[in-house]
Each structure stands twice: as structure tokens, then as C-alpha cells.
């Protein structure tokens, strides 16, 4: 299936690869819902559409995306929104807010389905089903760009050469599996630089989790055999690999090589551990993803099992949002399309209900799977038993979610009451600074809502103007930059990025600094609370909460509200310290040669290897620089002129 329209250049970056006949149609209107204005905007678009497949985006008056949809025939699908009497209340609200549309045509409906999922993940529209947990999944990578391949955990784009196995449900499940695989196949996990510097085996060799190829304790041929076995094991041939090791162990025992037999016995135990630690019996399933859905109390949960080679590689529960008023089959279809937008699909996908667009979805996923994809509802046998187990897990996960949501809602209501807020805060921002005696100072902000932390909204600032060791000045700078930008980008406070509550890690001084900064910007309605250590410097687990009017409050040690606020404070500590350490680490690893324009990493490395230090490079004569290996006369002149501008 071609993912680039005929006559268009291939472009792998995002949605622009589907850019045939892209057009935007707009009708001016107010921000308020106006059904008549929305229908008029849509009718103007319908007049220009052709009977082609594609994707449409609906925008409000400010240009924000309200909804992303796909259609086999764009003209017919978009025209349906003008039949107001046939629309649900939810769709009427959406049409009433619509003031413009963007149309992208594609070669097929399957391409439109892929693009729809991609744009939903990018824009996160208010009227689409959203996969809230969009954190990338970890994989096991067995690299192939070295004579002694390395086994490692991998996240993100799959650019490195090698074999990828996954997805795994969590980093913990990957780490556990890699530890067992190291015992089973003795493959190295160190990076190439560490391996090249070794002159004796590391601790992993001593505890029998590596074969020490770094110092020649295993030949390239023998290591290659271990790699082959690892690929077979991860590829679904675990039984054959175990039998092979059993035969080797028997031969070693018969030849009285008891040390080798004991090592092979330990490897067999590791294989048994990997297979026996599965919480789900996936025997007879092969490789598949299993999805079961549960609904209760207006919320939907989806349980996913990841089965590869008959082994369970973990399971995870998802809770898609914006599902009100939608059919469960529609929710599951949208969920699967978004889920596989970044995760490579297996050849078999098992679901617990029939989907009207199952064939279309399977066609769309073929390219990512490298072949035909089957989406089926199991009726009997091992697959049916596995599906029943997934369904039970989905129901239990949703019930836990609802119970936790009730507890969170109650805690937030009590928090609003304690901090004297008018309503439950939908957006809480927490601020902190981190530095060491003023060096490498950073300011940090974390964001939390009713559902928990909103990681994508976290921000950090490099402190530029504040004096070193002046925490108050640092706080003033952070608030000035944060809220001056908010005023510029969203003066009407309609985008949801203005906080309902601001918590500041610190006492009266930090609180006063933040208040003064907001007053200078003309902002007087943001709720500010300072969180400081208690009378015993926090040793008793209590904090003092400072209000703008000078009052101070404390909570009981066992208060759920106190635990929630402490968790917010601890999270901003973690984020601020992490940002500070990263900045400090970059400063430590920086070189004065970085300041020389036009000198890349290779030439900097050549200069440092030849002269030893950056100081000696600076003191070198032009002739000495020209004699450096790998440094041309032009580069030598550039370096010399940089350090001797008046020469």
C-alpha cells in the first residue's frame, strides 16, 4: 500500500506525506457556539469537495482543532454535518463551534485512517477519542553493527541496526527479561566505548551474566552462536533453544566437563524463569496483541496483552478519554488506530467484539506489520481463554480506576476547601529552583490536573538575569517569563494553560517575589500558595502553607490532602534537580574548543588527542596546528585566528 499520493514526493515527516489537494476553507465568526454560522462554514466547504477519500479537520474561530475525521467519500461525509436534525447533541455543539475546515485527500480510505490517527495524536482534538497514555513502549534491541552484538533496552525511533523485540508493557518487564537473557545467553550489555577500554572482565562476567568478549574470553564464532540462539529464543523458538542447551549439557556431563555442564544448567534455569514468570498463559497463541474492553460509570477501559513467540511480554490498561456518547466499537477502532500509529503491529490482533471497520483497519496496518494483518474475535480454544482472561483484567482495572478516581475527586475537593478555592482546581502549577551556590541555576514548573501529572506541560528555564544565590530573584525571573508569555499568547485565557492554583516551593520570601512579579504584569487573580518546611524542618512530615494575606495553615500528619500536596512538591523537586544535573553535566563535558566556529567533533577530537588539553591547543603556534594529524591548513588557520585575533 502506498502511503504517498501519486505524483507527490515521499516525505516521511508527519502528515505532509498525504498532501495532495490540501486546502483550508474559512468563514469568519465569533468564539461562541453558533449553529447557523457553523453550518454555513461547512456548506461552503462541501461545495468545493470531490468524491475522494481523505481526512478533514474542523477548527474553531481561533484555529484550534476541534475534530479530525476520515471518510471514504469526503463530500458525502462532510455534508452529513449540515443535516443538523440528525446530529447528536455532542455533534451539534461541535458544528456550532466550527468556523473553518482543512481538507487532505488521500489515495485510499486506509491511508485516510492512518493519517487520521496521526493527526489526532498531534492535535489532541476536544471531540475525538484520545489515547491518554501515549508514552512510547520499550523494546529489546539486539544490535548488529558490531562483531560482538550488544543486547539493550530501547525506546523511541528504531534507527539503530539490529533486531527489535517488543513492545513490552513497561521498563520493568524489559529489565527483568534482559537480566534473564544475559544469564541465558551471556550477551554483553555494555556500550562499545566501555568494551574497547577493558583490559580485564567486569563484574558481569564474574556473576555469569556475560561471556566477556571484551578481553577474548569467547571467540567471535562462539559469541555468534549465542546471538543466534538469542534470536531464536526471542523469535518464538524457545523450546528448540532449550532442547539444544539440554543436549549440550548432557554431552558436557558425559565427557566429565562438569564446570561447563553447571554453566549450561544455570542457562536452562534462566530459560525456565523467563517462561515460568509469565502471568498470562499464552501457549498456542504464537505472536499476537490481545485487546479487551470494559465500560462502567461512563468510563471505558481497554486491557492489552502483548504476546510474542508464545511468551507474555507484559500487559497494560488504557483509559481513553472523550468517549461520551460514542459506540464502544467506534471507541475501540479509534483506540487501535492511534495505538498502532507508533507501535509496529503483529500479524494477529485479537479483540473481544466485532468492529464494523475491522477489514479497513487491518488493511491500513499491513505496511507497518510487513505483511497481512488479521483482526479476529476468538471463539474457542486457547485464544478464547486468553481473551476471557483479558476481559477479566479489563473489568478489574476499570473498577480500580473508578475507585481511585473517586478518592482523587474527594481529595481535590478537600484540597480546594483547605486552600479556600472557589472550585476544584483543573490545572495546578508547582514551581521550584535548583542550583549549587548559584551555578547552573534552573527554574522548573510541573503541572497536575484531576487525572494526575501532565508531563507534556512541564517547563524549565535557564536562569539568565538573576544574581547568583538569590532565590527570590530567580523566582521573579521564572514568573516574569512564564506569565508574560501567557499574556502574549493567550490574553483571553481560553486555551486552558492558565493555572487555577500555583504552589511555590518556599516560604514568605518566594511567595512575595512571585506576587510582586504578577502585580507588575497586571495579574491579580492567580491563587498563590507557598509551601515551606514545618517547625521541625519537615522531619515530622508536615509543611506550612503560606497565604497571600499572611496567614499560615498546617494539615494533620495523616491527611490525604497533605500527602497529595507533598507528592506535588516532591515531583517538582525531582524535575528541577534533574534539569539542574543535566545542565551541570553538559557544562562539565563542554570544551573551550566548542566556541570555535566551523570546528566539528572529529577535528576537536583530533586536536585534543594531539595536544592533550584545550589550553595547549590555545597556546600552540600556527605551524604546530598545521602539523596536527587530521587538521587541514585552513582549519589550523581558523583555530589560530580564533585565539589570536590581533595577530
**pLDDT one-digit tens code per residue, 160-177:** 888 888 788 777 778 877
More confident residue, 323 or 342: 323
Q: Does the pLDDT at position 238 exceed 70?
A: no
**Under 8 Å between Cβ of 140 and 166:** yes
Query: What's the chain's average pLDDT?
Result: 82
Domain formed by 592-643, architecture: Orthogonal Bundle (1.10)
Give per-residue pLDDT as tens, 249-272: 887 777 787 777 777 777 777 666
pLDDT given at position 15: 43
Stretch among 143-157, 264-278, 547-561 having the lowest mean pLDDT? 264-278
**Under 8 Å between Cβ of 445 and 568:** no
* Percent of the chain scoring above 90 in pLDDT: 23
Nearest 10 degrees: Cα torsion 84, 86, 87, 88: 130
pLDDT given at position 26: 46
**Under 8 Å between Cβ of 466 and 477:** yes
pLDDT given at position 535: 65
Q: What is the domain partition of the chain in residue ranges?
A: 14-123, 139-276, 289-297+319-400, 428-587, 592-643
Give per-residue pLDDT as tens, 106-137: 998 989 998 999 899 888 898 998 886 656 78
Q: Does the pLDDT at position 608 exceed 80?
A: no
What's the pLDDT band for 81 if we cut at 50, 70, 90?
A: very high
Task: Report CA 514 to chain centroid distance, whole Å.
Answer: 32
Q: Does the pLDDT at position 143 exceed 70?
A: yes
pLDDT given at position 19: 44
CA–CA distance, 257 with 347 (Å, rounded to integer)? 44
pLDDT given at position 159: 82
Residue 4: phi, psi to the nearest 5? -120, 130
**Under 8 Å between Cβ of 28 and 42:** no
467, three cell numbers: 544574581
What's the pLDDT band for 197 if we cut at 50, 70, 90?
A: confident
Alpha-carbon distances of 397 from 292, 306, 318, 573, rounded to whole Å: 11, 17, 9, 30
Residue 349: phi, psi to the nearest 5? -125, 120
Going by CATH, does the domain composed of 14-123 fall within 3.40.1440.10?
yes
CA–CA distance, 369 with 367 (Å, rounded to integer)? 5
SS3 state at 57: strand
Stretch among 40-44, 255-259, 560-564, 628-632 having the lowest mean pLDDT? 255-259
More confident residue, 458 or 273: 458
Give per-residue pLDDT as tens, 368-421: 878 899 999 998 888 888 899 899 999 998 988 888 777 888 889 999 999 988
More confident residue, 445 or 23: 445
What's the pLDDT band for 29 if we cut at 50, 70, 90?
A: very low
How much is the pTM? 0.66
Alpha-carbon distances of 270 from 169, 242, 264, 267, rounded to whole Å: 21, 10, 10, 5
Q: Does the pLDDT at position 3 exceed 70?
A: no
pLDDT given at position 499: 92
Going by CATH, does the domain composed of 428-587 fall within 2.40.50.100?
no
CA–CA distance, 565 with 238 (Å, rounded to integer)? 48
Amino acid at each position: 500500500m502506498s502511503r504517498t499520493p501519486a505524483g507527490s514526493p515521499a516525505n516521511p515527516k508527519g502528515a505532509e506525506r498525504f498532501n495532495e489537494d490540501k486546502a483550508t476553507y474559512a468563514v469568519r465568526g465569533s468564539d461562541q457556539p453558533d449553529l447557523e454560522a457553523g453550518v454555513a462554514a461547512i456548506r461552503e466547504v462541501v461545495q468545493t469537495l470531490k468524491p475522494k477519500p481523505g481526512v478533514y479537520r474542523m477548527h474553531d474561530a481561533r484555529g484550534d482543532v476541534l475534530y479530525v475525521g476520515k471518510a471514504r467519500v469526503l463530500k458525502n461525509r462532510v455534508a452529513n454535518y449540515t443535516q443538523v436534525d440528525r446530529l447528536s447533541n455532542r455533534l451539534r455543539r461541535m458544528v456550532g463551534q466550527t468556523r473553518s475546515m482543512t481538507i487532505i485527500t488521500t489515495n485510499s480510505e486506509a491511508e485516510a485512517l492512518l493519517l487520521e490517527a496521526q493527526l489526532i495524536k498531534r492535535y489532541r482534538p476536544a471531540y475525538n477519542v484520545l489515547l491518554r497514555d501515549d508514552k512510547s513502549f520499550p523494546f529489546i534491541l539486539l544490535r548488529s553493527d558490531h562483531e560482538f552484538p550488544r543486547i539493550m533496552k530501547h525506546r523511541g525511533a528504531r534507527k539503530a541496526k539490529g533486531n527489535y523485540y517488543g513492545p513490552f508493557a513497561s521498563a520493568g518487564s524489559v529489565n527483568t527479561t534482559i537480566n534473564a537473557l544475559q544469564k541465558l545467553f551471556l550477551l554483553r550489555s555494555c556500550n562499545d566505548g566501555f568494551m574497547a577500554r577493558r583490559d580485564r572482565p567486569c563484574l558481569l562476567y564474574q556473576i555469569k551474566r556475560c561471556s566477556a568478549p571484551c578481553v577474548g574470553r569467547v571467540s567471535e564464532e562462539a559469541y555468534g552462536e549465542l546471538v543466534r540462539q538469542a534470536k531464536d529464543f526471542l523469535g518464538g523458538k524457545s523450546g528448540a533453544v532449550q532442547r539444544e542447551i539440554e543436549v549440550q549439557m548432557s554431552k558436557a556431563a558425559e565427557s566429565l566437563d562438569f564446570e561447563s555442564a553447571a554453566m549450561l544448567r544455570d542457562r536452562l534455569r534462566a530459560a525456565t524463569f523467563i517462561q515460568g514468570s509469565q502471568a498470562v498463559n499464552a501457549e498456542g497463541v504464537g505472536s499476537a496483541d490481545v485487546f479487551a474492553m470494559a465500560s462502567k460509570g461512563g468510563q471505558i477501559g481497554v486491557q492489552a496483552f502483548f504476546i510474542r513467540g508464545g511468551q507474555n511480554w507484559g500487559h497494560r490498561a488504557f483509559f481513553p478519554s472523550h468517549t461520551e456518547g460514542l459506540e464502544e466499537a467506534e471507541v475501540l477502532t479509534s483506540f487501535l488506530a492511534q495505538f498502532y500509529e507508533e507501535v509496529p503491529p503483529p500479524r494477529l490482533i485479537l479483540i473481544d467484539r466485532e468492529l464494523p471497520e475491522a477489514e479497513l483497519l487491518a488493511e491500513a496496518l499491513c505496511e507497518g506489520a510487513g505483511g497481512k494483518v488479521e483482526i479476529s474475535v476468538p471463539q474457542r480454544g486457547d485464544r478464547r481463554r486468553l481473551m476471557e482472561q483479558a476481559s477479566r483484567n479489563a473489568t478489574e482495572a476499570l473498577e480500580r480506576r473508578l475507585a481511585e478516581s473517586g478518592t482523587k475527586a474527594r481529595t481535590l475537593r478537600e484540597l480546594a476547601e483547605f486552600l479556600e478555592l472557589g472550585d476544584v482546581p483543573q490545572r495546578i502549577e508547582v514551581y521550584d529552583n535548583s542550583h549549587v551556590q548559584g551555578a547552573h541555576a534552573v527554574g522548573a514548573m510541573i503541572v497536575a490536573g484531576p487525572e494526575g501529572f501532565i508531563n507534556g506541560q512541564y517547563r524549565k528555564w535557564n536562569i539568565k538575569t538573576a544574581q547568583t544565590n538569590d532565590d527570590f530573584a530567580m523566582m521573579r525571573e521564572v514568573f516574569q517569563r512564564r506569565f508574560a508569555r501567557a499574556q502574549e499568547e493567550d490574553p483571553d485565557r481560553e486555551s486552558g494553560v492558565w493555572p487555577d492554583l500555583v504552589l511555590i516551593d518556599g516560604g514568605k520570601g518566594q511567595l512575595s517575589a512571585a506576587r510582586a512579579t504578577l502585580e507588575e504584569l497586571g495579574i491579580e487573580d492567580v491563587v498563590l500558595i507557598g509551601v515551606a518546611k514545618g517547625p521541625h524542618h519537615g522531619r515530622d512530615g508536615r509543611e506550612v502553607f503560606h497565604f497571600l494575606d499572611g496567614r499560615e495553615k498546617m494539615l494533620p500528619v495523616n491527611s490525604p490532602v497533605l500527602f497529595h500536596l507533598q507528592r506535588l512538591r516532591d515531583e517538582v523537586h525531582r524535575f528541577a534537580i534533574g534539569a539542574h544535573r543535566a545542565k551541570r553535566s553538559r557544562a562539565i563535558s563542554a570544551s573551550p574548543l566548542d566556541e570555535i566556529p566551523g570546528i566539528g567533533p572529529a577535528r576537536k577530537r583530533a586536536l585534543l588527542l594531539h595536544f592533550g588539553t584545550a589550553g595547549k591547543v590555545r597556546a600552540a603556534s600556527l605551524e604546530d596546528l598545521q602539523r596536527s594529524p587530521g587538521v587541514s591548513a585552513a582549519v589550523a588557520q581558523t583555530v589560530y585566528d580564533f585565539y589570536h585575533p590581533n595577530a
